[in-house]
A and B are shown apart, each in its own frame.
Chain A
């Protein structure tokens, strides 16, 4: 009998303790993020929508049509169309399609890419009205120069070297590229129509200064280490072809 009373008193005490704990929780800040109002603070290695980067400095498209991403993709959601350029005898990109409805965002394609062209952006708002709309083509995939620069910075990728001027096409290409930095084929239309692409960069950039900068750094630092470790082989890869080209 006394044991029973003792037990019930003890259990009542425990219930009261639980109630007190939960009541105290009311004084804590909610952990919910006000998502559409304030963008989440995403890490550089966040695996969002896939995109193709351009050279942040020159605006050249980085894809060399090596088809490695297409080969490595477990979902077979990448489809690259290219042909061999008659002048340079190198593959030249015609179209690049990614079916984001199939993609599982494993990031294997970004790891295998020798030029860090295909990258996971921080954009995750890809809801659309049809499956067809999730198939992104080259125009939709290619980032602008600014966006590429943003992601190269954020992911701490080594800046690609500018494309060496081809011996044959040298004067024409150089002349075309230099005076008009915004000339690169894909960029203007991409910027014009690629509304979803403009968003993450803008908002992320806008959000960045709004958040306390030191918090940002502390968050970024450990991740930066792991990032660079991850991208090391990629660094070599991306460095090599560039050097090769330089030698050529």
Chain B
């Protein structure tokens, strides 16, 4: 009660022209606390399962075969543990962020009663949902009805796995997942949830739910094509399907700092080009290293930054430079369009406004999940928000440079030094207690990479919230029209254009 009165008398409440800084500040505060909770919990859990326990077993029970087996099983399970810890807490935060963010955009207050500033609102909602009755509608196909949320939710757990090493700067804990067809796997996984929605709609024995489910199927089939084409185009440009390689290639300077010549060799190995191209890339690394920015795929990736490096080194000049410069600009434009295309397709894929036809509240009374209650509904809800996060993560890895910083690294070097100092001392302390030296708990390089990746992901999530607050819903025929007649041709044109432009530069 006291906190409530404080907020009332706080400066932001007075009807003056000071804007809404107080409410924005509250939003930032809630986000900061929640995000520290989320990532602290995930890091501790994955450290315990993947780092601490296996290395303790290695160190103190080195002779026992069983202990070794347990250790390796735990190491393999680490990514799964991380994702499973991450998803519920993250969805809790994202729902809160969405509600408060939308409130900001629609000039309201949003939830501010449960806990300070509504901090615990979604936690309370989640608990309430878990205790609610599981209702099976009359005439429903119970097996399908129960399976639908699981089919909807499971892919978002497993689909997210290959993205883990990409956003955590290839942390050793998650290296298991750095496999060569990562993005292919993610895309395959991301098309499964549609089946869950159709199942839910069909099994509910409800006309509206069925219409919602079928709409979802139609929508997902149409919008998956531009979405996949956009990602494929980027893969063609960078020349790999490995998610963590795509992330690294947009970050060559830090790559060389962190992993040394070895990793650079791997990076060059991806481009089995002539010696000249390799020279060019290393010049690019030296000259543009401090501005990692320019290596992001949205700015043409290393194709354009290599060209810029050549220009700086005066290895290309005159008419060729102008021609190639125009090509580079066109490539950048293509990347912007591709990114927009991907965002649009992804919005449709995860049924968010303006493409939320499957659940259109005003027409279909929430569509496929009308009949769901209690924990099944909670799972639908959880998966929806997790999908939003995954989609944003893919965008960050494919276009926004994964863990590379959006500002020159010299700007945050002092912070890194301080972090390094703290990390080395904490690790020393832990080693003194008896934790094996193979499992350092803090690694400043990984921390900075993860920090930037996650900030970018949440930036996109907030952007999605902004879009939700702005755009109205499509009509079903407009949706199909837009998908098939506009986005797919555009995606094909861009695919062609990027393929040629890449060779021309």
A: which residues have CB within 8 A of B? 8, 15, 18-19, 21-23, 25-32, 34, 37-38, 215
B210 CB to closest chain A CB (Å) equals 32
Chain A hits for B4, CB < 8 A: 34, 37
- Residues A22 and B105 in contact, CB atoms below 8 Å apart: yes
For the complex, give the distance between the alpha carbons of A19 and B462 in Å. Answer: 12
Contact, CB under 8 Å: B8 / A29: no
Q: At the interface, yes or no: B424 with Cβ under 8 Å from chain A?
A: no
Per-residue CB proximity of B74-115 to A under 8 Å, as 1/0?
A: 000000000000000000000000000001111111000000
A34 in contact with B108 (CB, 8 Å) = no
Asked whether, in the complex, the Cβ of B109 is within 8 Å of the Cβ of A28, the reply is: no
User: Is there contact, CB below 8 Å, between A15 and B5?
Assistant: no
Is B118 an interface position by the 8 A CB rule?
A: no
Shortest C-beta distance, A42 to chain B (Å), equals: 17
Instruction: Flag whether B19 is at the interface (Cβ < 8 A).
Output: yes
> Do A19 and B470 touch (CB < 8 A)?
yes
B7 on interface, CB distance cutoff 8 Å = yes
Q: Are the CB atoms of B24 and A37 closer together than 8 Å?
A: no
CB-CB under 8 A from B107, the residues of chain A are 25, 28-31
Chain A CB within 8 A of B187 CB: no
- Binary interface encoding of chain B residues 178-201 relative to chain A, with 1 for a CB under 8 A from any of its CBs, else 0: 000000000000000000000000
A23 touches which one: B13, B19, B23, B466 (CB < 8 A)? B466
Q: State how many residues of chain B have any CB contact under 8 Å with chain A.
A: 25
| Contact bitstring B357-399, A, C-beta under 8 A = 1, else 0 | 0000000000000000000000000000000000000000000
B23 close to A30 (CB less than 8 A): yes
Q: Are B471 and A29 in contact (CB under 8 A)?
A: no
9 pairs of A and B residues whose beta carbons are closest in the complex: A26-B104, A32-B109, A22-B470, A27-B19, A37-B8, A30-B109, A18-B470, A22-B105, A32-B108
B20 an interface residue at 8 Å Cβ cutoff? yes
Q: Give the residues in chain B near A32, CB-CB below 8 Å.
A: 108-109
Tell me whether B444 is interfacial, beta carbon within 8 Å. Answer: no
Residue in chain A with minimal CB distance to B18:
A29
Chain A residues near B108 (CB, 8 Å)? 30-32
Q: Is the CB of B8 within 8 A of A19?
A: no
A202 to B7, CA, bound (A): 22
Residues of the B chain whose Cβ atoms lie less than 8 Å from the Cβ of A34: 4, 7-8, 13, 109
Residues of chain B having any CB pair with chain A under 8 Å: 4-5, 7-8, 12-13, 15, 19-21, 23-24, 103-109, 466-467, 469-471, 486
Q: List 22 A-B contacts (CB under 8 A).
A: A15-B470, A19-B466, A22-B466, A22-B470, A25-B104, A25-B106, A26-B20, A26-B24, A26-B105, A28-B19, A28-B20, A29-B12, A29-B13, A29-B15, A29-B20, A29-B107, A30-B103, A31-B107, A32-B109, A34-B4, A34-B7, A37-B8
Complex Cα gap A239–B473 (Å):
61
Q: In the assembly, what is the distance between CA of A21 and CA of B466, in Å? A: 10
Residue of A nearest to B24 (CB): A26
Task: State the Cβ distance, A184 to closest chain B Cβ, in Å.
Answer: 37
A38 CB contacts on chain B under 8 angstroms: 8
In Å, the complex CA distance between A7 and B367 comes to 33
CA distance A8 to B337 in the complex (A): 12
Rounded to whole angstroms, the CA-CA distance of A27 and B24 in the bound complex is 8
Complex: A34 Cα to B109 Cα, angstroms: 9
Q: Name A212's closest neighbour in chain B (CB-CB).
A: B15
Q: Whole-angstrom distance between the alpha carbons of A15 and B472 in the complex?
A: 11
**Please, which residues of chain B bring their CB within 8 A of the CB of A25?**
104-107
Known: A29-B12, A34-B7. 19 other contacts (CB 8 A): A15-B471, A22-B105, A22-B470, A23-B105, A25-B105, A25-B107, A26-B24, A28-B19, A28-B20, A28-B107, A29-B20, A30-B23, A30-B103, A32-B108, A32-B109, A37-B4, A37-B8, A38-B8, A215-B15
* Nearest chain A residue, comparing its CB with the CB of B5: A37
Residues of B within 8 A of A30 (CB): 20, 23, 103, 107-109
Assembled-state Cα–Cα distance A34/B12 (Å): 13
State how many angstroms separate the Cβ of B330 from the closest Cβ of chain A. Answer: 14
Most buried by B among A8, A15, A31, A32: A32
Question: A30-B20, A34-B8 known; A22 and B469 CB under 8 Å?
Answer: yes
Taken together as a complex, chains A and B put the C-alpha atoms of A21 and B106 apart, in Å, by 11
* Complex Cα spacing A176 to B486, Å: 89
* Docked pose: A8 CA to B340 CA in angstroms: 13
Bound CA–CA A38/B10 (angstroms): 13
In Å, the complex CA distance between A81 and B272 comes to 102
| A141, chain B: closest CB distance, angstroms | 31
Tell me which residues across on chain B come within 8 A of A27, comparing CB atoms: 19-21, 24
Q: B residues within 8 A CB of A26? A: 20, 24, 104-105
- Chain B residues, Cβ within 8 Å of A18: 470-471
Q: Which of B8, B24, B469 has the most CB of A within 10 A?
A: B469
Complex Cα distance, B8 from A24, in Å, reads 23
- Which one of A8, A29, A38 has the highest number of Cβ atoms from chain B below 10 Å of its Cβ? A29
Q: Is the CB of B105 within 8 A of A29?
A: no
Give the nearest-CB partner of A20 in chain B.
B470
Q: Which residues of A contact B19 (CB under 8 A)?
A: 27-29
Instruction: Find chain A residues with CB under 8 A from B21 CB.
Output: 27
A182 to B168, CA, bound (A): 77
Least CB distance from A118 to B in Å reads 34
